[in-house]
Amino acid sequence: MNEIYLDNATTTQLDPWVAEEMRPWLLEKYAAPTGHFGHQASLEAKEKLEQARAAIAESINAQPEEIVFTSGGTEANNLAIQGYLKSLKKPVHVVTTAIEQESVLNTLRALQKDGVELTEVGVDQDGFIKLEEFNAALRPETVLCSVQLVNQEVGTIQPLAQIGRICAEKSIPLHTDAVHGWGMVGLDVKKMNLSLAALTAHKIHGPKGIGALYKRKDVKLSPIMYGGYNEFELRPGTENLPGAAGMAKAIGMMKPEHIEHIDKLRRMMWGAIGSQIPWVHLNGSVDRGAPHILNVTFDYIEGESILLRLDMQGIAVATGSACFSKALEASYVLLAMGRPHEQAHGSMRFSFSRFNTDEEIAKTLDALKEIVSDLRKLSPLTPRKEA
């Protein structure tokens, strides 16, 4: 494992306290949480599942019966979008943004083959939705809007409360992929007028393989999988009780002081990069961005070259470069923000957690300055007078 882990927007370390919360439900109290079998072990498991459901609901100002457990954020987004559109049984129009996570964009694009009409609204140079364009895209036949809470690459926080008011005025349900924002920035489903919201545990030091969908009481969904009658007849299969217990524990451990620490690390990182390394560009916004994501472009060099050199020194980061994309394309998020291909190829994402330290950031900065300098000396693109 890398000595310094700065790829927390991909996944996070499981908090030891979360692991302890899960342990009894893995090894000792392992009955299925069905409750209707009647034996005490099953009833106890069911009670624990409902406690977890209530804790997750409370974290977003929802009711327990509005939380449906899933295998993660991807399934939650699919259940929200496919389940809602399937329930309508008519030609529909959906509005989203050009920088949504793949589980939203690819789901909607696939549904176009079934007759769903899709409008992808643009964003500005910092990744914020163009509200005038969004307003103009709404039509009488628009049945759903999907706008993420926090962007997965650049950390932009979308103005969901404002977007929610617009949708509410037009009686259009609003879905959000809140996977990269839940626990990191404010999420209140009532204040934001949300109809559907996808959550996951492994971005906030919870376990992988568990997520949840917030579904407002009056929103009707059709199941997209079939089997038993679990999770309000919307998600068949035995519930992942250890995962649900861990998810509830994880959100309960996200404290304001942790967010302040994470934000301090991000600002420390950008302050040093911006002042000590030439030819760099911030992608997104420091003051209006999520506390845990920093995306920077280093001109004249490829992102994967930086990543590999950092990895050799035990430092884990992420890049939007084409060589690390199965589609062999530059970051579609940065391209949508108006960045040229060469800048999109040189982008790096540093993402932080409460387990990172000031010392780790200092070590990363020292390594980064040396690596960028060396790579620019080798790059034929670097202006020779200042290389």
Maximum C-alpha span of the chain:
79
Place of tokens 């030819």: 279
Buried/exposed code over 226-265 (b: 16+ C-beta within 10 A; e: otherwise): eeeebbeebbeeebbbbbbbbbbbbbbbbeeebbebbbeb
Q: CB under 8 Å to 303, separation ≥6 — which residues?
A: 319, 320, 321, 324, 345, 346, 347, 348
145: annotated active-site residue? no
Q: Which amino acid is at 337?
A: M
Cα separation, 98 vs 377, in Å, equals 36
Q: Which of 323, 378, 381, 387 is catalytic?
A: 323
How many Cβ atoms sit within 10 Å of the Cβ of residue 67?
27
Q: Which two tokens stand for residue 16?
A: 């030891």
Q: In the structure encoding, which two tokens stand for residue 211, read together?
A: 């997520």
Residue appearing with tokens 């330290």: 357
Question: Cα–Cα distance between 109 and 114 in angstroms, integer?
Answer: 10
Catalytic residues: 323
